[in-house]
Amino acid sequence: MAESRTLELEAGEAEVAARRQAQGGPSLARRGLALLALLVGVALVWELTKILFSITDYNLPHVYAIPWAFIKPLSSTGQPMGVYLLWQTQYTIYEALAGFALGALAGFLLGVVFAHSALLERGCLPYVVASQTVPILAIAPMVVIWLGRGFLPIALIASYLTFFPVVINTLRGLLSVEPTALELMQSYAATRGEILWKLRVPASLPYLFTALKISSTASIIGALIAEMTGAQRGLGWNLVYFAQYYNSDPPNLWAAIVLSGLLGLLAYGGILLIERRALGWQARAG
């Protein structure tokens, strides 16, 4: 018996080692190389399209014109446009972050409430869903009319886009618990609160992070759109400005668009990092 147990332990450890090896994936250098190849590929297709269909610089500027738009000095202050844009983006980041935090918290709490009351879920969830079919472009000006221009209305509009995926996924996650896992808690005479914190919430985390990844980029879209109608600063407002003055300098708009994309990537990557830390047990299992 002693021998067979040793064998089992060894088999277990071998399995662990094999899985550890499998989860390593491609090295950082290889992934960097792949990214570089992708960027070069996109630039090639871009320039080839320009030549093949004889597209003017006005309709589609050269690829190199976009990084140049970041570097070239502004006529008003003389600082590079990239510095100015980053300074402006700062506002957008704060608004999106505040909206994200608010929306995620509200969404999570609502998910918890719905998970505990089938009556409330059936009564209220349809309205939560309906709220999301109203286009944000219709809502944003109204919120600005109600609350005036500034930080708060923009953060609120960002939170409006954040909270929906969080409600739905939190609810799904909290209810994803196996019946026997619940019975185990019942056998310990655990309270509802203990079942929530020790079982339902940890079990819902993978679902929650899926929602947060969607929401993180959605909150940026919310902030950008809100800035377009209710601010005179921020990346969203600059997007509108550059669009209005597109005739005079097309690459400016492209630069702002690239920056918006990078902002989304940053938000997504941030959540991914937190997820890896929080769900370490799962990343290794996957």
Partner 1 sequence: MTDTAPIVSIQNVSKLFGSASAAGQTHALSRVSLDVAPGEFVSLLGPSGCGKSTLLRLVADLIEPSDGQILIRNKSPRQARLDREYGIVFQSPVLYDWRDVLHNVELPLEVMRFPPAERDRRAREMLQLVGLKDFERHYPWQLSGGMQQRVSIARALSFKPAILLMDEPFGALDEMTRERMNAELLNIWSQTDTTVIFVTHSIAEAVFLSSRVVVMTPRPGRIEKIVTIDLPQPRNLETREQPHYFELITAVREGLREV
Per-residue exposure over 196-229, b if at least 16 CB sit within 10 Å of its own CB, e if not: beebbbebbbbbbbbbbbbbbbbbbbbbbbbbbb
**Residue reference for tokens 């899985």:** 19
Q: Please identify which residue in 39, 45, 145, 181 interacts with partner 1, judged by CB under 8 A.
A: 181
Coil, strand or helix: which one is 148? Answer: coil
Q: Cα separation of 54 and 139, whole Å?
A: 41
Q: Please identify which residue in 4, 27, 76, 248 interacts with partner 1, judged by CB under 8 A.
A: 4
**Residue reference for tokens 């995620």:** 104
Q: Which is nearer to partner 1, 76 or 186 (CB)?
A: 186
Binding of partner 1 by 184 (CB under 8 A): yes
| Encoded tokens for 241 | 């400005």
Give me the least distance between CB of 285 and partner 1, in Å please.
4
Q: Cα separation of 282 and 262, whole Å?
A: 28
| Encoded tokens for 139 | 């809502």
Q: Please identify which residue in 18, 95, 174, 205 interacts with partner 1, judged by CB under 8 A.
A: 205
Binding of partner 1 by 283 (CB under 8 A): no
Q: Cα separation of 217 and 165, whole Å?
A: 12
Q: Please identify which residue in 202, 246, 258, 270 interacts with partner 1, judged by CB under 8 A.
A: 202
Positions in 8-27 near partner 1 (CB under 8 A)? 8-9, 11-12, 15-16, 19
Please report, as ranges, the residues that interact with partner 1 according to CB under 8 A: 1, 4-5, 8-9, 11-12, 15-16, 19, 178, 180-181, 183-190, 194, 198-199, 202-203, 205, 279, 281-282, 284-285
